[in-house]
């Protein structure tokens, strides 16, 4: 009897343990199923999220692309309308495949500017040309219109001639006469000069300076509409085989309706070192053709010194000198300038004339700067008739200019 009770008790314990194992097994299986379901839902949610993001990115890309092409279409239509209504009739229009052919698939690169690369090309009649391929920009084709609208309608010995253009969708090119001696920048600075730290003699420097002045005078007063270049600097002055200077790169140019003097302009245009004070601070006055006069003056100062106006070297104290201040101090005390290349009295007179003219042009107040026709008169007149200009001040008055 006792053994039977023990046996029953043992069986009951075994049954309880078996039931407990089954319960734990069932719970484990349920947990496993729950984990599987959770993982499945995680994968579904992750997949749905990724798919949604991909769809949103595709939609965003398509909208952006649509807006881009809409903008490009509107830009193209605007340029086409400009070419039809205002474009130069005497300038040839080329297809892009013709541009590739004339440059031999852009074989010889002449240089690079802010708006694109320039390549050497050859027309069917054998003439060499410079072909500027404009890169895409955010300016809605403004640089293309500026070039064609300004230089395409001008004709002056001291302004580069536009011979043709290409406008084919996003492909845009400008074809100019080829200038064999490149830009003035290569010839006037010490680190590029070949003899006596100056490649040109003073007489040739004078001729180049006078030629640039006449080119600017034509833009300001010789055209039906006044043209402001707004980026006069050595890089944008090209020299032909006779070293005759020609103003180029009208990508930043502005045309003034009629004979207006002051123009409205958003943002800053030009190159640091040549920008007139009123362009970056309107307290000095309105932006006008006098802004080109200032840039011209800074260009002449560099030509006179055969150096950048601010030259940063190893010795900060001695080599970072504002050259116009140095010139003015020597004028004030009637000292010799000791500029390189001066060999006789005639060279001295030319150097002094260029110095005086340049200092008049870089007056801080636009009202004190002479217009370009007066600059030409000063250059062709005698040096004795030129007064010493006042030291440029840091204050200007926003007064109307003529």
List residues with catalytic annotation: 231
In terms of DSSP bridges, do strands 171-177 and 162-168 run parallel, antiparallel, or are they unpaired? antiparallel
Number of residues in the chain: 402
If you write DSSP's letter for every residue of 86-123 in order, what string do you get?
TS-TTSEEE-HHHHHHHTTTT-SEEEEETTEEEEEEE-
Burial class (CB in 10 A: 0-12, 13-18, 19+), 171: middle
Which tokens hold the place of 9?
A: 């008790």
The two tokens of residue 24 are 């734990």
Q: Are 173 and 94 in contact (CB under 8 A)?
A: yes
* Structure tokens belonging to residue 230: 């707004």
Does an H or E element contain 255, and which?
strand 254-256
The two tokens of residue 89 are: 């009739």
Tokens 């009739």 -> residue: 89
């Amino acid at each position: 009897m006792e053994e039977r009770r023990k046996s029953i008790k043992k069986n009951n314990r075994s049954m309880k343990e078996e039931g407990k194992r089954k319960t734990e097994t069932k719970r484990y299986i349920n947990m496993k199923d729950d984990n599987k379901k959770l993982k499945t839902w995680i994968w579904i949610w992750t997949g749905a999220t990724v798919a949604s993001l991909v769809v949103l990115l595709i939609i965003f890309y398509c909208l952006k692309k649509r807006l881009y092409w809409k903008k490009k279409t509107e830009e193209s239509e605007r340029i086409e309308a400009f070419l039809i209504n205002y474009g130069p009739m005497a300038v040839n229009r080329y297809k892009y495949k013709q541009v590739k052919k004339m440059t031999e698939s852009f074989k010889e690169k002449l240089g690079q500017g802010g708006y694109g690369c320039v390549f050497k090309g050859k027309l069917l009649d054998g003439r060499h040309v410079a072909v500027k391929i404009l890169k895409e920009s955010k300016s809605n084709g403004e640089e293309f219109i500026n070039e064609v609208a300004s230089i395409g309608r001008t004709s002056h010995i001291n302004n580069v001639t536009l011979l043709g253009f290409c406008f084919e969708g996003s492909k845009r090119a400008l074809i100019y006469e080829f200038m064999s001696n490149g830009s003035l920048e290569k010839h006037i600075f010490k680190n590029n000069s070949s003899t006596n730290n100056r490649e040109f003699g003073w007489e040739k420097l004078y001729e180049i300076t006078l030629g640039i002045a006449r080119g600017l005078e034509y833009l300001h007063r010789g055209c039906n509409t006044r043209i402001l270049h707004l980026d006069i600097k050595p890089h944008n002055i090209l020299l032909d085989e006779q070293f005759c200077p020609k103003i180029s790169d009208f990508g930043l140019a502005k045309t003034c309706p009629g004979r207006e003097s002051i123009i409205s302009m958003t943002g800053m245009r030009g190159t640091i070192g040549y920008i007139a004070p009123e362009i970056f601070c309107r307290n000095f006055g309105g932006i006008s053709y006098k802004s080109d006069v200032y840039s011209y003056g800074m260009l002449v100062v560099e030509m006179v010194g055969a150096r950048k106006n601010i030259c940063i070297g190893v010795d900060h104290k001695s080599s970072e000198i504002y050259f116009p201040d140095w010139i003015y101090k020597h004028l004030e005390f009637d000292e010799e300038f000791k500029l390189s290349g001066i060999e006789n009295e005639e060279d001295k007179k030319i150097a002094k004339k260029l110095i005086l003219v340049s200092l008049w042009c870089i007056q801080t107040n636009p009202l004190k700067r002479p217009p370009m026709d007066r600059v030409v008169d000063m250059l062709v007149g005698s040096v004795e008739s030129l007064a010493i200009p006042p030291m440029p001040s840091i204050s200007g008055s926003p007064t109307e200019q003529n």
